[in-house]
Structure 1
Amino acid sequence: AYLADDFEVTGPDGGGGEEPGPVIPAAPAGLTAGATTTSSVALSWNAVSGATGYKVYRDGVQATTSTGTSATVTGLTADTAYQFSVSATNAAGESVKSAAVSARTAKNGTGPVTTVPKHAVTGYWQNFNNGATVQTLADVPDAYDIIAVSFADATANAGEITFTLDSAGLGGYTDEQFRADLAAKQADGKSVIISVGGEKGAVAVNDSASAQRFADSTYALMEEYGFDGVDIDLENGLNSTYMTEALTKLHEKAGDGLVLTMAPQTIDMQSPENEYFKTALATKDFLTVVNMQYYNSGSMLGCDGQVYAQGTVDFLTALACIQLENGLDASQVGIGVPASPKAAGGGYVEPSVVNDALDCLTRGTGCGSFKPEKTYPALRGAMTWSTNWDADTGNAWSNVVGPHVDDLP
């Protein structure tokens, strides 16, 4: 016979056991290399069950960590091949490394590898909270082909810019996750650029020294974060001579992969003699698109000399005609509008009106009283301020305009 004290009952039937602790996760699968710059490689992989983090290795040496399933390895040498692997971690330890993938950084002067589609939708992403929906880059809908991160910051040195993520204003969005989301967007074929200016932006490029600082600091941000280029949104004026010099120097550094966009106000594009217009024409050889802001301006002259009120299809088409008939290629012209009435003081039009304007300019249909003498099938597309205000209305703007831009001739 056995006494009760001679043994104990354990396990699920007896109830005397302990819950099992975490086990070391499996090695990640699906590691792939995405967008590259001269100094960085974007990586992504499949999630691993039970993992709480990941370690990324470059040539067998840990390069960075991530809490998600993507990361960008920076600080690399141009035109150099590297091998990358990743492991999964949790409280129990670290998995074995994944199968390695190879990637080569871009050559100096070749620029980023992402390309802008023939017809493109541009959206400004807000690095601040002004009452619109707060987003991560990952939240930006797939309809957007170019995402302009708004905004860079001016330093005390004229022409120099920097960038600091507003983590507190964006609900704790970390710099690490921002970089990973940026790389993931590029891996999906999107261009992510840094926007300079805005309503309160004060970046002064008024001599050769400040032009050099602008080019150097912008390129440094492209190297550090992987930005594909820059957006010029200077609403307080610019000097065409020295901004052209700055952008030319930047293009020499970044190469033909540079994505260069501009967002002048309507008054800035009324004549090719205006400083903004002169800058666009002077950089035409490598300019991607000018998305003029067709809002917050009141009535303006169209290319036929008639006055048109903002908030109408005629305002969009007759003012676009000025750029189209005065030196810019149709592929360098886009229509910039607010995503919602809250996004601007005036000039909002329904997304369907934007589509009418696009059709009028590219197909000759959907026009109002103004009808251009010819069509411009290569028109680049449309822009909105902002992806955040778009999200505020359930992405009503991009859900309508995005597919239409894709279907342009």
Structure 2
Amino acid sequence: MERSPLGAHRVRGRRGRIRRGAATAVLATVALTATGLVSSAQAADINVAKNAGFESGLANWTCTNGSGATVSSPVHGGTAALKATPAGQDTARCSQTVAVKPNSTYTLSSWVQGGYAYLGASGTGTTDVSTWSPGSSNWTQLNTSFKTGANTTSVEIYTHGWYGQSAYLVDDVSVNGPDGGGGSDPDPTVPSAPAGLAVGATTTTSVSLSWNAVSGATGYTVYRDGQKATTATGSSATVTGLSADTAYQFTVTATNAAGESVKSAAVSARTAKEGGGNPNPGTSVPKHAVTGYWQNFNNGATVQKLSDVPANYDIIAVSFADATTTPGGVTFNLDTAGLNGYTVDQFKADIKAKQAAGKNVIISVGGEKGTVSVNSDTSANNFANSLYSLIQEYGFNGVDIDLENGLNSTYMTKALRSLSQKAGSGLVITMAPQTIDMQSTGGEYFKTALNIKDILTVVNMQYYNSGAMLGCDGKVYSQGSVDFLTALACIQLEGGLAPSQVGLGVPASTSAAGGGYVSPSVVNAALDCLASGTNCGSFKPAKTYPDIRGAMTWSTAWDAKSGNAWSNAVGPHVHGLP
């Protein structure tokens, strides 16, 4: 939604393991030399494979046809493993060439999981070897050995799957024997301190934390007020056994075989109060609801206070939150000057008054100019935490997602679920995607909606500023018609959303959008068509959806500019649906 005139919604390497037994062997050799039993020290066997635990991605390894990739879970050791996927005539063969010593014996081993997995060595100069596993749901070790020829200085080691079988996993490869001149991976070094420590959901007795993964770390230790609280193998943990309504300070360290890092920057968190303390008033949304966007700026429409918004609106989306310099973080700045001196205290009082009248007041994030990027665990945490702070400060009932500049379904899902855990079951979550965003269940908006279906209130897609689009019957429909509304709504209804999660988003007047305005009578006809199969155009859905949620408009200010013609006509009709 736009803040400018014509305020339309859219036109607004694991390092090598410590060599077990190496120190003992060296000390024994030194002792024997001191007694004259040997004339010189013999070098201990080493693992001549490089990046043997895939901690450095696929460095030193080559996989056929791009069949291999590293994953962070499941792993046998460290923080990474190889996952390779056979396809067609490709067995997903991954290999590397290692330096070996002639006339020497090497033990070859690896840990495998998943589909068929083979391990072998070729070019040994004697007898090439291989071994395999028919597949396992748990990590299984493969072992074999080979001897090099008199002139062999390098050997190819490899792993692969099998035709038509599922992906396989490999970790902790070892080619143990004399150093052939290439050496081994260096011993691990103490990892760096974790960054991005953030607070997640809190209860009366627990605090959830997350942080950025650290390269080379095999575990993490969480400290509460300087004392060890818990450990974790991944980049998140929940500290339990806390007291209600109490502030705590947390830090985290990264660990591996070489030792423990220094502590991260500290974060503070307060547990919830006994008996609640949830700032969300939890006003319920009616079965059939009308949503209106309230403008926190003056773009030529009627300047309103929240108290001016008519009673026909059940959900009032305050437009908009502002992005901060923190990735994913948002805040809200009331435009007191643009709203004729409307103060923050008046605004907060009006929110409470609307809620006392059974209305929901939510904060909208986005609009045409509202670029907020939620594309990582850190930014997802920041998004959820900052929105929760706004809910605590202003008493908002929930959030509206109106990001028109891109959305990542993975991290937006995490953010909204985190916010839901903080705010409780009464949280209202609405979305206002553009038409193109809901044409397919593969779109990021559609995926997000389906991912949070259990906590989602309604998707009010913008049926305007979009030209012609496909309906659920595969036909093309032009905006501004009853068929456009019903045939596009059908995609969402048949794509997995509940009828109660689908609303029709339309402009309140011709001035509110660049195109796609329909009269209130057309909106009401589309609702009748979807709810009861009456008043349809050329498109008639195969079945009816009596629980269709209702309608949305941009904006209450443009509606007021037209004498509230839209809400006066659509509001009673929505509330009168079956």
- Which interval holds the TM-score relative to the shorter structure? 0.7 to 0.9
Task: Tell me, yes or no, if the aligned pair for 2:280 and 2:391 is still in contact at 8 Å.
Answer: no
Structure 1 spans left out of the alignment, 5+ residues: 1-37, 39-76, 79-103
Structure 1 match to 2:560: 391
The within-5 A match list for 1:6-155 is: 107-108=276-277, 111-155=280-324
Shift of 1:390: 0.2
Q: By percentage of residues, which structure has more strand?
A: 2
Bigger fraction of residues in helix: 1
- The alignment status of 1:271 with 2:440, answered yes or no, reads yes
Deviation at 1:109?
5.8
The answer to whether residue 510 in structure 2 is matched with residue 341 in structure 1 is yes
Following superposition of structure 1 onto structure 2, how do residues 10-409 of structure 1 map, counting pairs within 5 Å?
107-108=276-277, 111-409=280-578
How far did residue 111 of structure 1 move?
A: 4.0
- On the 8 A contact 1:110/1:256 being kept in 2, the answer is no
The aligned amino acid for 1:389 is W
SS of the residue 1:152 aligns to: strand
CA gap of 1:106–1:202, structure 2 versus 1, over 3 A, is: farther
Q: Could you tell me whether the CA contact under 8 Å between 2:318 and 2:364 is conserved in 1?
A: yes
Alpha-carbon deviations, 1:75-97, whole Å to 9, x = none?
A: xx98xxxxxxxxxxxxxxxxxxx
Asked whether the equivalents of residues 126 and 150 of structure 1 are also in contact (C-alpha less than 8 Å), the reply is yes
Question: Secondary structure of 2:429's partner?
Answer: strand
Q: Residue deviations 1:91-128, cap 9 Å, x none? A: xxxxxxxxxxxxx9971568432110000000000000
Between stretches 110-119 and 315-324, larger displacement belongs to 110-119
| 1:84 aligned partner | none
Counterpart residue type for residue 395 of structure 1: N
**CA deviations over 1:230-286 (Å, ceiling 9, x no partner):** 000000110000000000100110111000000000000000000000000000000
Q: Deviations over 1:162-212 (max 9, x none)?
A: 001000000000111000001000000000000000000110000000000
Q: What TM-score comes out, normalization by structure 1 length?
A: 0.74
Q: Contact (CA 8 Å) 1:110, 1:257: kept in 2 or not? A: no
CA distance in structure 2 between the partners assigned to 1:252 and 1:109 by the alignment: 11
- Which runs of 4 or more aligned residues in structure 1 lie more than 3 Å from their structure 2 counterparts after TM superposition? 108-111
Specify the code of the residue in structure 2 equivalent to 1:362. Answer: A
Normalised by the length of structure 2, the TM-score is: 0.53
Identity of matched residues, %: 74
Do the aligned partners of residues 106 and 233 (structure 1) sit closer, same or farther apart at CA in structure 2, a change above 3 Å counting? farther
Change (3 A) 1:286 1:109: farther
Q: 1:144 is aligned with what amino acid?
A: Y
CA contact (8 A) 2:397 2:428 kept: yes
- RMSD over aligned Cα atoms: 1.5
Instruction: Say if 1:180 and 1:131 are closer, same or farther in 2 by CA, change over 3 A.
Output: same
CA distance in 2: counterparts of 1:255 and 1:317, whole angstroms:
33
1:85 matched residue in structure 2 = none
Q: Secondary structure at the match of 1:151?
A: strand
Counterparts in 2 of 1:224 and 1:154: CA distance versus 1, 3 Å = same
CA distance in 1, matches of 2:385, 2:545: 36
> Residue in 1 aligned with 2:217?
none
SS at match of 2:518: coil
The answer for unaligned runs of 5 or more in structure 2 is 1-202, 204-243, 246-272
Cα deviation, 1:345-385, whole Å, max 9, x if unaligned, reads 00000000000000000010010000000000000000000
The separation in 2 between residues aligned to 1:162 and 1:395, in whole angstroms, is 30
Q: Conserved in 1, the CA contact under 8 Å of 2:520 and 2:566?
A: yes
